Structure 1
Amino acid sequence: MTKPTNDHAFTREDLYGTTPEATYAGATSFMRRKYSRDLTGVDVAVSGVPFDLATTNRSGARLGPRAIRAASTNLAWGDVLNWQCDPFKTLAVVDYGDCDFDHGRPEQIPDTIYEHAKNILAQDTAMLTLGGDHFLTYPIVKAHAEQYGPISLIHFDAHSDTWEDEDGRIDHGTMFYHAAKQGIIDPTTSAQIGMRTSNPDTHGYNVYDANWVHDNGIEKTAAKIKEIVGDKPCYLTFDVDCLDPSFAPGTGTPVCGGLSTHQAQRILRGLEGINLVGMDVVEVAPAYDVSEITALAAATLALDLLCLYKASKEQWQK
């Protein structure tokens, strides 16, 4: 029987390498990686969290993971130019599918996401998560902190997500306030980049808003982030609304004046050397997208994160 040349999400035997297939057809796993819940020998599990019940403006990010996977088929054919490598040559990556939860029991969903993350991390596998609204980062970082201690957060966003709130509320604009207060995140060794909304209290986070990035440039921004996080285990979360709406219209809470896709990619490239232990890309809402440019930007940034994790693993996990 002839070896299949398509649908690598199902037919792939080797977890390593990239085998191109028609971008317009086939099963749309992330970057055509094998769909699998078997994490034996797996370096990174890509999973979706189709959750948007914490959204404060336009809903629809529950469809983000599906859109990012579909857009990633345009990228799954060779080396990544900015990194001059194919991360899949040395990283075993699977698409783990989506976190399963009961939408009719919203009060249970944070714990379900936490258990989803805890199960993956317990198998010595790193996580790349596709959102979903930004609240999902909170239970995932909670699981990481149990393994690594208080996490240094690298947070790209138009919003600080640190507005003060009462305990127990599920809101995508307050979870990093709770995480800092609870000791899950160490704000003094965390950096927030790209903000374009006002919050009078930083709660100890190091904030470099969009104006600071525009004024100081890509290299200085990357250097400042690396200086802040040092060699501490860090989690990188990228809210796609960090990008200006001209580059990412398909999101729930767009704010003008943001980063370009080029700026974001080059900053990520400049972070090589950090001790990256987990990552996500969130807040893609396809209903508001135009020609899939937001989904494509998110897929591209997620691929950059895999390249960054590859570099981190080679340096810190020898």
Structure 2
Amino acid sequence: MSNLQFLKPSGSLFVDRDVTRFSDIVKAWEGKEIQGVGLIGAPLSKSSISHSGAHLAPGTIRKALSAFTTYSVEENLDLNEWNIQDLGDIVMHVTDIIHSQERIFETLLEVYATNQNFLPIILGGDNSITYPSIKAFTKAKGRVGVIQFDAHHDVRNLEDGGATNGTPFRSLLETKTIEGKNLIQIGIRDFSNSKTYRTYVKEKGVSIYTMKDVRENSIKNIMTEAIESLNKSVDVVYVSLDMDVVDQSEAPGCPAIGPGGMSASSLIEAITLLGEQPKVKGLEIVEIDPTVDFRDMTSRLAAHVVLNFLKGKEKAKLR
């Protein structure tokens, strides 16, 4: 055997023939009909009201996925047979935020229109991508319910700063893209919102679980209530995860970190449970700034969110 076998491309990971990494099963999309899972990056962060390098997050999350295997020891199941296609990133306009949001909407709408049977996982970007993402999802899928994990209501007025990462759910509600009764917010945190915005979402009929609710009730019970509520009135459910819902000690790479947030283990349990639900047909992950993260902790947690979401789907398939 030639000693050239030890010469590998730069940056190559250690290879163990008995281990399948998640990145091993991710294939570049070739433009054909998507079956299985489609990863799509939406690297927009110019609309953040605070400093943000969230446009870098799709890349760091993809890199983090390469650190983990496809095998769940807890459930004794393997994701290695999943068809995962990476569609790449939507190119943002250099200066025009609204145009960038329109690109996200138009791109996703066409992807959904031409690919009816795939599971989209959108990698943001800041939370401003949520409005065009859910708008496209709703036009393609019908009545959509949204489960939003977030420290904030994200219903800031549009007069003071325009369309930012603090306004996506204001836009969704004001345009009637979704109904308030079909929006469930989980993890809303103390001293991170205003009374005006709390009143606004309550008047719109939004269901709210604060961090106090999360602490005092099991996350399983909250997920069960949320799904039972939405199942009665929607065709599909979309999960929007703002990573700042997690406590700053476990997700330091968020622009709006704060104490008293959700634990990583609670989030993973919730995401797994949602993955098991047949009506849950989409997931987005937003608000990771790799430039302020520590050893990619937050991107690695996001990678685990993806893995556990698919673990839930696999568990449902095996029933």
TM-score (norm 2): 0.83
Counterpart check, 1:116 vs 2:114: no
Alignment of 1:124-163 (within 5 A): 124=116, 125-163=118-156
CA contact (8 A) 1:33 1:95 kept: yes
**1-side partners of 2:238 and 2:172: how far apart?**
13
Q: Which has the larger radius of gyration?
A: 2
User: Which letter maps to 2:243?
Assistant: V
**1-side partners of 2:102 and 2:245: how far apart?**
27
C-alpha RMSD of the superposition = 2.7
Counterpart check, 1:288 vs 2:289: no
- Which residue, 198, 201, 223 being the options, matches 1:200? 198
Q: Which has the higher strand share?
A: 2
Q: How many residues align?
A: 293
Structure 1 258/39 Cα, relative in aligned 2: closer, same or farther at 3 Å? farther
Structure 1 19/276 Cα, relative in aligned 2: closer, same or farther at 3 Å? farther
Deviation for aligned residue 1:38: 2.1
User: Which letter maps to 2:110?
Assistant: N
**1-side partners of 2:156 and 2:74: how far apart?**
35
Structure 1 97/149 Cα, relative in aligned 2: closer, same or farther at 3 Å? same
CA contact (8 A) 1:241 1:253 kept: yes
Alignment of 1:146-225 (within 5 A): 146-166=139-159, 169-196=162-189, 197-198=192-193, 199-201=197-199, 202=201, 203-225=204-226
Deviation for aligned residue 1:174: 1.3
- Deviation per CA, 1:255-290: give whole Å up to 9, x if none: 210011101111222332250121111111011111
248-257 or 229-238, which moves further after superposition?
229-238
Structure 1 168/249 Cα, relative in aligned 2: closer, same or farther at 3 Å? closer
- Deviation per CA, 1:20-70: give whole Å up to 9, x if none: 46x7xxxxx956501124242522210111110111122110111111111
CA contact (8 A) 2:146 2:238 kept: yes
**2-side partners of 1:169 and 1:313: how far apart?**
43
Aligned partner of 1:11 in structure 2 is none
Aligned partner of 1:78 in structure 2 is 70
- Deviation per CA, 1:77-113: give whole Å up to 9, x if none: 2323455433342x42111111112223333111100
Paired residue secondary structure (2:198): coil
Alignment of 1:245-264 (within 5 A): 245-264=248-267
**1-side partners of 2:247 and 2:46: how far apart?**
24
User: Which letter maps to 2:47?
Assistant: A
**2-side partners of 1:151 and 1:31: how far apart?**
33
CA contact (8 A) 2:43 2:92 kept: no
Over the matched positions of the two proteins, sequence identity in percent amounts to 26
CA contact (8 A) 1:52 1:133 kept: yes
Deviation for aligned residue 1:187: 2.0
- Which residue, 76, 79, 102 being the options, matches 1:87? 79
Segments of structure 1 that go 5 or more residues without pairing to the other structure are 8-17, 24-28
Segments of structure 2 that go 5 or more residues without pairing to the other structure are 10-16
Aligned partner of 1:265 in structure 2 is 268
TM-score (norm 1): 0.84
CA contact (8 A) 2:52 2:289 kept: yes
**2-side partners of 1:107 and 1:298: how far apart?**
26
Aligned partner of 1:275 in structure 2 is 279
**2-side partners of 1:314 and 1:213: how far apart?**
29
